[in-house]
A and B are shown apart, each in its own frame.
Chain A
Amino acid sequence: MRVTVRLFARVRDLVGRGEVVREVAPGATVQDVWRDLIAEYPALEPYTSSVSGARNLEYVRMDAPVADGDEVAFLPPVSGGAL
């Protein structure tokens, strides 16, 4: 099955594109999609502990399942900022 992956900010820069379509196995989770991306773009690895995920415009945990046609987004840490 296929999912559309949306990438932002530095993670988008590292991959070189803001949107990629990935083929994933049935039963795959958001985490599996991320690992699959790292296999092709190892520079993403340092983001594993800080990235968060969204599926079809809802925040989800990395162990959430994905389905054919889903839009999965990986969000690097957001702006933060001093007080």
Chain B
Amino acid sequence: MSEGNGSTDFCMPALGADMEKGTLLEWYVKPGDPVHRGQVIADVDTEKSAIEVEVWTDGIVDEICVPEGAEVPVGTVLARLRPAVPSAVAPAAPAAPAKVPPQAAPRVQPKVQPPARPRVQPPTRPAVPGAMSAAPRVRSSPLVRRRAAQAGIDLAAIPGTGPGGAVVSADLERALAGTHPQSAHQQAHQPAPEPVPEPAAERTPRPRARRSPTADGMRESIARLMTRSKREIPHYYLSTTIDVGPALAWLRERNAGLEVTERLLPVALLLKATALAASEYPDMNGHYVDGRHHPAPTVRLGVPVALRSGGLVTPIVDAAEQLSVFDLNRRLRDVATRARQGALRASDLAEPTLSVTNLGDQGVEAVFGVIYPPQVALVGFGAVSERPWAHDGLLGVRPLVTATLAADHRVSDGHRGGLFLTAVAERLAHPEEL
């Protein structure tokens, strides 16, 4: 965003290091609408997913510069905002009376959030004046709306079974199967999931029909970024095995008295331990730009989330070293859930300073990651599994996890990396201090 003669440009944001262009899917505001810091004002489609984009200044929409459906490079001015006139004199403001309906003000939710933590709980999207005049807005994710639009289906005609009556993908699929004559034809081209998998096959293939239209774009985007990483970053890799018995015992004890929604996931402990260790080892946390490392003042963890439709997105947990494990757990559930719903916001994707990949749920023992440029390290956790372990001269069976580090040799050496990984292990040995 840039400013000149009092107006502010709202530009196509870079939603990830690999994004070069984006498509403006939908505007939620029109000229004359007042906007507030943190308000979602547009949906943008990247090669990875549809993202809700917030505005970070208060003001009034002066001009929409890019129409819905247009694909533009990162940095393109999407809209111009002008400063809001002070509310005390608003009714008398003569500047552009035609564009500023004074009655528009009540639609905007006044500062519903503490300004200190805008990323954690952005305000709910205010009603869209334009949409209100026609019909009540149908609740659904940007992804579902887009797919419905592509299929030429009116979302309002689909009964929603999601939270609050939201139209979810499954509803759309049902509608497509039932009412759209083309769908049967389309599905015939895709291998339908077997009604019952072969007994030998442990794993049912992902239903192909769920593959999103952006899957190919996402694959290209991942390929571009990972190729750049392997070309530019001299990786080194370390691995260590950690006894997470104490951490899991502490977790079980804490969870016993908690509501299901508040229960901690083991991954929250792994992330917190990593964030604390990273705050001690700045050479693992930051960005390598213009030939040198820029350590970051706080730890903004990137947590890759696999999407059901294939590919992944990497939302952030900001200032993870300062969050309690409970707040971190809550934030993680929130972003992971929204990532899968295609309802991430631009601020959820702000540049992470260190990424942590957790393939534990897939059952693999260790993951040796590829660093996301311009980050300088990536921590990986495999599955927690019970394995033989020698402790105090005795052989026992303990829950173990293999933690790995891929780090950038331009910034650190194996010695520093080893100390860092050991610090992660030490943090996990004292879960009550996490």
- A and B: interacting chains: no
Binding site for A on B (CB under 8 A): none
